[in-house]
Chains A and B, each alone.
Chain A
Amino acid sequence: MTHRSYFCGSPDHGVSRRGFLGTAAAASAFAADMTHLDVLQTPLFASEVKKQQKHVILLWLAGGASQLETWDPKPGAPTGGPFRAINTSVPGVAISELMPKLAARMEHTAIVRSLNTRNADHGGGALMMETGRAVDQGIPCPDLGAMIAHELGRADSPVPDYVSMYSSTEGRRKGGSGFLGSRYAPMFLAEQTIPENIRRLEAVSDIDHQQRQELRTFLAKRFANGRMDNTVASQNMAYERVRGLMTSEKLFDVEQEPAEMRAKYGPTQFGEQCLIARRLVEAGVPFVKVARAWWDSHGQNFETHLELVTELDHVMSTLIDDLKDRGLLEHTLIITLGEFGRTPGINASLGRDHFASAWSSSLSGCGIKGGAVWGKTDEDGHKVIDGEVKAGDLFATVFEALGVDHKREFHIGARPIPITDFGCGPIKSILA
């Protein structure tokens, strides 16, 4: 038989500046081949699951946080801004003075200071940093959460695989599962703090709710007789998950936490959402994204970062401590990332603008060599001078930190799509 591969997967697409395939066409042409995709890992004993289960909490700094006011300060440079750099618990590593609490916990965190992602447009940058792909695949690609849900989620899990919170309205993006299909789409929380339709209506008694589902299962089994169909199976799986997902309602209720714990995370919405993220992770959710919007400080960059970095420092430090106290930090990877960083140049409104040529991200916890710093920018922060990394390199690092082979491939029909973008690989020196 002749080799039939419908798409080329050629690295030449690297020269393409932007996507060039309509989603309609793409979606109808290629979608997930469930025979390959829907094989979730087989269940293990609960205790084993708890021990081995890995998680990600992605703190998505929407709008683009300044690397200069966080992970890559340039004190004294004309571009450095007014904040100082402070020493951390790891000798030789200094970060912005806005993060004293994280500085004291630097032994858990690795910094990547050399992202050069070239796209300083909110939409395009966000898509790239959500999916880890600069190379257009001609089909809608899954974001990090969907890929991790696919790799780490379990078929028998009573909790969601992927929860995404984005409560501010500016730049709100839901994220998506692309060719992995809606099984891996996020449970999305926007204005509401509790997911939609997760609570049984009072008009339906619990026994009715359960038994009508059993009646449905009876009908479904009859229908499946002689009909092996993956889409039909996905509908049944979606219904089988309902009761389990409903039991996770309390996970989203911050009131369930002791007042003392809530006080530790603080009264801000971001703090509450990170506390919910910890509750979810503790219950076995593989991927939680908490978007903190909006960092787009074209005016008053320093005032904005005084507010937002102070909050990030406090909340993320609390999260690290809390996960550590519960023995979860070594199984949980905390990522700070956004669509890009901010310009070294300070504009006349004392703002910083969009900048994707030399910016930073951080990885803490699971699989990470704490205190490691990768990459270097020049003295003004204008460009990367050592260890340049692309979105795909960062994603490959995340995969490896979680024990997922970054060379793994998805199969879309006959076409293999690597989990890691073309030409990218992990930053080994920051992996534990």
Chain B
Amino acid sequence: MLNQLKTAKDLGTPGIFLSLTRIPLTERLIVGSSDAKLYEYDFAAEKTEALAYGEGHASYVTGVAWTTGGIVSGAYDGKVIWWDMTTRQAIRTVDAHAKWVRRVHASPDGKIVVSIADDMLAKVWDAESGKLLHTLGGHEPITPHHYPSMLYAAAFSPDGKLLATGDKVGHIVIWNVDTGAKVTTVESPGMYTWDPKQRRHSIGGIRSLAFSRDGKTLAVGGVGNIGNIDHLDGPARVELFDWQAAKSLKVLEDNKFKGLVEQLWFSPNDQWLVTSGGDNNGFVTIYDVATQQIPHQEKGHQHIHAMVGSESGNKIFTAHHGRLIAWSLTTDSATA
């Protein structure tokens, strides 16, 4: 049984931390910030200090991923930048997208990297050469209500062969990474709230995606229907799909800790699904995948934008609006 989710380390930070990656087998975290910078924090060090990356981006850094070709980041300036992990300087800058880059993700082996942006394109890059492998365009740029749409989320499958992308109105495309071909589509319209009467704009969108470790289930995260769309006051929403059958398995809505599900992470044996995000406040909510119950959840200090887990599954790291936290995740089997 899962019995503990504890703050192991908690750092107050000046900016809004929007993205986060971890160098494998270490606790070296690289975060993307609202001040257009990247910073490295070593949580294993006795004294964790911010090591700033060099110049590069001009806006919010919303995507960062460790790859075998270095750290790759994406920002609202439309750029995708490769960084040397040692010198923390830019080694390659690409004007990758015409609009905001929302996320950057690396394949599990670190050899492929994808950037997604509000130009509604997913661009698949060779992480080492920086070569553009595929430009994937399967998302409508305009919502059914005639406003600009957004492409918020992407995830690789554990074997690295598939890529899922999810947009504002709840449309998900699953791609073959090798060929760039569309494999299938899945819909999760409950992630998008359009208010046609009271406030006449929208809120929500698919904000996170994750394949289970066995590759069979696709978890989709966002926020459920919101009454007053001025605020993020809606249920933290996760929808689980048997993606091969394009079949919705379960909608999990939490009204205790509300807001956007910004991140999803399956523990190594698919026992737990860890979700995080929030409204003004942050949350970490853990679902037991088998029972779909919540054995544990914690309020996080302010909204959580990004999260990564450790290889062993006993640690997670969260990047907040003004905070960086390491959590220890202990289970009975681990403690036994």
Contact = CB atoms under 8 A, between A and B. Distances in A.
Given A299-B279, A349-B232, A294 B35 contact: no
A315 to B, nearest CB: 11
B231 A298 contact: yes
Nearest 8 A/B pairs, CB to CB: A294-B199, A348-B321, A82-B76, A299-B232, A307-B147, A348-B302, A82-B60, A348-B280
B326 to A, nearest CB: 20
Contact of A296 (B59, B76, B230): B230
B100 A307 contact: no
Interface stretch (B81-89, B181-189, B200-208, B286-294): B200-208
Contact of A304 (B34, B100, B203): B203
Nearest to A172: B198
B148 interface: yes
The A contact surface, by secondary structure, is loop
B124 interface: no
Contact of B59 (A84, A169, A304, A306): A84
Contacts of B278: 348
Count chain B CB atoms within 10 A of each CB in A78, A82, A297, A299 and give the residue with the most: A299
Interface of A: 63, 78, 82-84, 167-170, 266-269, 292-294, 296-300, 303-304, 306-308, 310-311, 346-351
A348 B281 contact: yes
A299 B203 contact: yes
A167 B198 CA distance: 9
24 contacts: A63-B230, A82-B60, A83-B59, A83-B76, A168-B199, A169-B198, A266-B146, A267-B146, A292-B200, A294-B199, A298-B231, A299-B279, A304-B201, A306-B150, A310-B148, A311-B147, A346-B16, A347-B280, A348-B281, A348-B321, A349-B280, A350-B16, A350-B303, A351-B231
B185 to A, nearest CB: 23
Contacts of A303: 150, 203, 205
A78 B35 contact: yes
The B contact surface, by secondary structure, is loop
Count chain B CB atoms within 10 A of each CB in A63, A78, A83, A303 and give the residue with the most: A303
Contacts of B280: 299, 347-349
A298 B232 CA distance: 9
Nearest to B76: A82
Contact of A298 (B15, B147, B230): B230
A166 to B, nearest CB: 11
A300 B203 contact: yes
B232 A300 contact: yes
A299 B59 contact: no
Given A307-B201, A349-B259, A350-B321, 7 more contacts: A83-B59, A84-B58, A84-B77, A303-B150, A303-B203, A311-B147, A348-B280
B131 interface: no
B197 interface: yes
Contact of B198 (A84, A168, A346, A348): A168
A307 B148 contact: yes
Contacts of A294: 198-201, 230
Nearest to A300: B203
A82 B16 CA distance: 12
Count chain A CB atoms within 10 A of each CB in B59, B230, B282 and give the residue with the most: B230
Given A168-B197, A294-B201, A349-B280, A82 B147 contact: no
A178 to B, nearest CB: 28
Count chain B CB atoms within 10 A of each CB in A167, A269, A293, A300 and give the residue with the most: A300
B232 A82 contact: no
A356 B76 CA distance: 28
Q: How large is the interface on B (under 10, 10 to 19, 20 to 34, 35 or more residues)?
A: 35 or more
Interface string B21-49: 00000000000001100000000000000
Contact of A293 (B76, B147, B199): B199
A82 B100 contact: yes
Contacts of B259: 349
Contacts of A167: 200
A21 to B, nearest CB: 32
A349 B58 CA distance: 22
A78 B150 CA distance: 24
A293 B203 contact: no
A346 B205 CA distance: 21
Count chain B CB atoms within 10 A of each CB in A82, A298, A347 and give the residue with the most: A82
Interface in B2-18: 15-16
B200 A269 contact: yes
Count chain A CB atoms within 10 A of each CB in B76, B118, B199 and give the residue with the most: B199
Given A168-B199, A348-B302, A310 B147 contact: yes
Count chain A CB atoms within 10 A of each CB in B59, B100, B281, B282 and give the residue with the most: B59
B38 to A, nearest CB: 16
Contacts of B35: 78
Nearest to A307: B147
Contacts of B60: 82
Nearest to B60: A82
Contacts of A348: 278-282, 302-303, 321-322
A78 B148 CA distance: 26
A266 to B, nearest CB: 7
A84 B76 CA distance: 9
B3 to A, nearest CB: 29
Contacts of B230: 63, 294, 296-299, 351
Nearest to B75: A82
B302 A170 contact: no
A171 to B, nearest CB: 9
Contacts of A83: 59, 76
Contacts of A293: 199-200
A350 B302 CA distance: 11
Given A82-B60, A82-B76, A349 B231 contact: yes
A170 B198 contact: yes
A268 B146 contact: yes
Contacts of B303: 348-350
B183 to A, nearest CB: 29
Contacts of A307: 147-148, 201-202
A295 B284 CA distance: 30
Contact of A82 (B59, B201, B231): B59
Contacts of A169: 197-198
Contacts of B146: 266-268
A274 to B, nearest CB: 14
Count chain B CB atoms within 10 A of each CB in A63, A346, A349, A351 and give the residue with the most: A349
Contacts of A311: 147
Interface string B76-107: 11000000000000000000000010000000
Interface in B203-231: 203, 205, 229-231
Contacts of A304: 201, 203
A371 to B, nearest CB: 26
Contacts of B321: 348, 350
Nearest to A308: B201
A84 to B, nearest CB: 7
